[in-house]
Amino acid sequence: MAVITAVIGLAAGGAGNAAEADRHVQGAQPTFETHLHEIGTRGAYDSHAEFVEIANRGPRVLPLGGYRVLATLHSHAVELARIPDDALLRPGAVYLLASARFVGGPPPDQIFSIAEDIPEVFTMTLVTPRGEAVDVVTTVRTLPPCGSPAPRPPNGLCLKRVRFTGDNSKDWAVARCTPGVY
pLDDT, one tens digit per residue, over 90-122 is 999 999 999 888 877 889 999 987 766 777 788
* Selected residue with higher pLDDT from 75 and 124: 124
Region label for 66, one of left (φ > 0), alpha (ψ between -120 and 50) or beta (otherwise): left
Angle of CA points 157, 158, 162, to nearest 5°: 125
CA atoms of 2 and 111, how far apart (whole Å): 6
CB hemisphere CA count around 20 (13 angstroms): 15
Q: What is residue 154's predicted lDDT score, i.e. its pLDDT?
A: 81
- pLDDT exceeds cutoff 70 at 71: yes
* Selected residue with higher pLDDT from 26 and 103: 103
Give the length of the chain: 182
Q: What is residue 170's predicted lDDT score, i.e. its pLDDT?
A: 93
Mean pLDDT of the 63-87 span? 90
CB atoms < 10 A from the CB of 110, how many?
A: 21
Mean pLDDT of the 141-168 span? 83
Mean pLDDT of the 26-30 span? 42
* Selected residue with higher pLDDT from 85 and 113: 85
Mean pLDDT of the 5-15 span? 29
Q: What is residue 143's predicted lDDT score, i.e. its pLDDT?
A: 56
Contacts of 70 (CB under 8 A, 6+ apart): 16, 21, 24, 77, 78, 79, 80, 124, 125, 127
- pLDDT exceeds cutoff 60 at 9: no
- pLDDT exceeds cutoff 80 at 51: yes
CB hemisphere CA count around 182 (13 angstroms): 17
* Selected residue with higher pLDDT from 23 and 68: 68
Q: What is residue 165's predicted lDDT score, i.e. its pLDDT?
A: 87
- pLDDT exceeds cutoff 50 at 25: no
- pLDDT exceeds cutoff 70 at 149: yes
Average pLDDT score, the chain: 78
Contacts of 119 (CB under 8 A, 6+ apart): 41, 42, 73, 74
8-state DSSP, 152: P
CA atoms of 164 and 150, how far apart (whole Å): 13
